[in-house]
Amino acid sequence: MGSIQFFKTTKLAFEGSFPGFCGEENLVRFLLVFYFFGLFCLRLLEDKIMAYFDSNINSVKKVGPSNSDYYGAMTRCTALGAALTGLQSNEERFWIDQEVNRQTMSSTIRDAGTWLGAQKIAGTNQFQWTDGHTTGLVTMGWGPKQPDNSNMRGRGSQDCVHIISLNTGYTRGWTLLGFVTGQLDDINCGYNDDPPQNFYACGKKPS
């Protein structure tokens, strides 16, 4: 239905319901009020969602493109007065993954890695959060057979962690390894090109 036909149909329906409220000018005013009221309600809903997120997930998050290794991402977060975030729950992991996929949806990027605030405990193949306040389990959400400490391309031990985000239509390497979007992978801290697009996830405890 075209916009003109929609307008005429809406006008007829409106006049049938409110016979004393006639005229295209009044109808336009009504539709504008209805439109902005809808935007207002949507804003309230977004505020409630973010309030739930902040109060229940323990950390305010900012996600953005990094194109750097772990140390560069850490520097970016420090400049924002935050730290590379840990994951208090799977909900946090899902939120970061969805945010990365949202930011890359309109681009040609189909896979991305997001640096987290986690490093390997010396002498083990276990990890701990480094942001100073996250207490969730680092073992949550690993990809298949991870962490594997693979000495990929001879680059040494994989002592850091990133979230692998896969956009719709991705069917290459990560999928062949059995990954689904939002799972964790261990990685060398100085690695910044697999996936070729990197993000940071900064967080800080609400004051």
- Number of compact structural domains in the chain: 2
Q: Convert the pLDDT of each residue in 53-75 to its tens digit.
A: 344 445 678 999 988 999 999 99
pLDDT at 136 (0 to 100): 82
Q: Do 112 and 16 fall into the same domain?
A: no
Which residues make Cβ contacts (< 8 Å) with residue 14, sequence separation at least 6? 21, 27, 30
Residue 76 is part of which domain span?
59-204
Residues of the chain under the 70 pLDDT cut = 1-24, 26-28, 30-59, 152-155, 207
Q: Do 95 and 20 fall into the same domain?
A: no
Give the pTM. 0.70
How many C-beta atoms surround the C-beta of residue 115 within 10 A?
29
pLDDT at 195 (0 to 100): 83
Q: Convert the pLDDT of each residue in 95-117 to its tens digit.
A: 999 999 999 988 888 889 999 99
Q: Do 115 and 23 fall into the same domain?
A: no
Q: Which CATH number belongs to the domain containing residue 76 in this structure?
A: 3.10.100.10
Using CA atoms, how far residue 179 sits from 87, 111, 161, 203, in Å, is 19, 11, 15, 25
